[in-house]
Structure 1
């Protein structure tokens, strides 16, 4: 993982560095590579991976809205925090799907909560899942799994690539898949929130209505709440 800060305010940069280091200390993990820039031009010229970015809006030269748009065009998986004192930029920032909007001065506990959400999202996007079949093991990103479906003793993993018949049962998959983006809607279905098209009290439509999963009525409220929390975490 590579975390970047782009802000021309040295005090904010220092505070962000401190908060990021404190966050990883608190969870007992070594802080990833942390790189700082004071202007958008330098950030855009950087050739390294960009996983999580803390981006100021008002800087000399290119403003943060332009820089964020350009980075999203190159990598739509980048997790961008807009860090600014000016709330009038919120609408522009939301247009290129920033992850969070942090107001200056930074509140440490709010920062920690949002950082945890960002790490959870990053892990979900990057984690690889082994799918063991009778023919062998296929390793795919968790995000490519659409649904896990049980019919009798057979368990099918529907993915964006193809379907796989798993040698493992539903409890195995329920334990393995990341809880923040997978949900068991019915005893026969585990779904990935990322691929939900729409849903009602009985059915979840997936992957542009190409797949469907049953939704138990008693799970509807919990499912809706979990799905809305997922959407909130990816905005």
Structure 2
């Protein structure tokens, strides 16, 4: 994991570095690589992974709104914290799905709570699962699974790359997929909340898919509540 800090105020950078280091050490976790930048151009020029980014809005040159949008274009799973004194930028920041909004001066306890949420979300997004087929076993991040579909005894795992015919049944997938990200909407469908674009009382439309998943009417309320909780956890 790499955590990046981008702020033109070196005192804020030092404070964030100390808070992040303390959080990992106090929880007996290995501290990830910490990289700091004082402008958006340098951050975007960085060739390494950008797993978690603490991003200032008001900076010379590229502002944080532009930088945040570019980061999300490159990798929609990048977890972005907006750190600023200017609350008027919140609406613009939310458009690129900022994970949390942290106000200056930073509140220590609030920072730790949000850091815990970010790591839980990161672990969910990067968790891998084996897809066992008759041809072999393929290991992919669970975040790449769009939905799982059953046709009689045939179970197909639809991913962002390709489809796999699984040797396991739907019950197996229900037991092994992260329950905070996946939901069985119908006896023949398990969907990934991350890939949902919209839904009504009977169907769910998914990113880059020609087909739609079915939603049983009796499950509509519980599905909607679970989906809203998922969205809240990723803000």
- SS of the aligned residue for 2:168 comes to coil
Match of 1:227 in 2: 227
Question: Structure 1: 5+ residue runs without aligned partners?
Answer: none
CA apart distance, 1:30: 1.0
Distance 1:180 1:23 in 2: 24
Alpha carbons of 1:211 and 1:54: their partners in 2 closer, same or farther (altered >3 Å)? Answer: same
User: Are residue 198 (structure 1) and residue 194 (structure 2) matched?
Assistant: no
Distance 1:73 1:206 in 2: 19
CA apart distance, 1:191: 0.8
Once structures 1 and 2 are overlaid, which stretch shifts more, 167-176 or 214-223? 214-223
Alpha carbons of 1:185 and 1:110: their partners in 2 closer, same or farther (altered >3 Å)? Answer: farther
- SS of the aligned residue for 1:97 comes to coil
Match of 2:91 in 1: 91
Distance 1:166 1:44 in 2: 39
- SS of the aligned residue for 2:30 comes to coil
Alpha carbons of 1:203 and 1:21: their partners in 2 closer, same or farther (altered >3 Å)? Answer: same
CA apart distance, 1:65: 2.7
- SS of the aligned residue for 1:8 comes to coil
CA apart distance, 1:215: 2.8
User: Are residue 138 (structure 1) and residue 138 (structure 2) matched?
Assistant: yes
TM-score, normalised with respect to structure 1? 0.83
TM-score, normalised with respect to structure 2? 0.83
User: Are residue 63 (structure 1) and residue 99 (structure 2) matched?
Assistant: no
User: Are residue 169 (structure 1) and residue 173 (structure 2) matched?
Assistant: no
CA deviation string 1:40-61 (max 9, x = no partner):
3433343322221101122344
Match of 2:8 in 1: 8
CA deviation string 1:132-171 (max 9, x = no partner):
0112112233233222223444322122333322122223
CA apart distance, 1:82: 0.9
User: Are residue 81 (structure 1) and residue 81 (structure 2) matched?
Assistant: yes
User: Are residue 39 (structure 1) and residue 50 (structure 2) matched?
Assistant: no
Alpha carbons of 1:116 and 1:215: their partners in 2 closer, same or farther (altered >3 Å)? Answer: farther
Alpha carbons of 1:72 and 1:26: their partners in 2 closer, same or farther (altered >3 Å)? Answer: same
The alignment covers a number of residue pairs equal to 235
Match of 2:104 in 1: 104
Alpha carbons of 1:162 and 1:78: their partners in 2 closer, same or farther (altered >3 Å)? Answer: closer
Question: Structure 2: 5+ residue runs without aligned partners?
Answer: none
Distance 1:62 1:196 in 2: 31
